[in-house]
Amino acid sequence: MPGIFIDVEVDDSIRNDPELAKKLEDACPVDIYAVRDGSVEIVEDNLDECVLCELCTAAAPKGKLRVRKLYDGTALES
C-alpha cells in the first residue's frame, strides 16, 4: 500500500545503481529502501514510518531523490 503521508521519488538515472541501493537500504532506519535485483526498491508498506531523518537525501546524488510530505506539500531533497 502506498503511503498516505509520505511518498519517495527516486530518479530513474540512479534507480539501478546497486551501490546506491545498498547505501539507502543501510541508511533508512525504518526500512523504506531495499535492494532488489541490484536496484532501489521502495517498500511502500513502510512509507508512512518515515521519520524525516534526511539520511537518504544525504546519501543520494543532488537532485535525484525526494521525500515528499503529502500532508503539507513540501519535500526533503537530496
Report the residue from 5, 26, 52, 74 that binds ligand SF4 according to the rule CB under 6 A: 52
72: nearest Cα among 1, 26, 22, 7: 7
Interface map 21-50 toward ligand SF4 (x if CB under 6 A): ------xxxx-x-----------------x
Dist CA 37 CA 2 (whole Å): 21
Contact 67, 76 (CB under 8 A): yes
Assess 67 for contact with ligand SF4 (CB under 6 A): yes
Nearer to ligand SF4, 13 or 51 (CB): 51
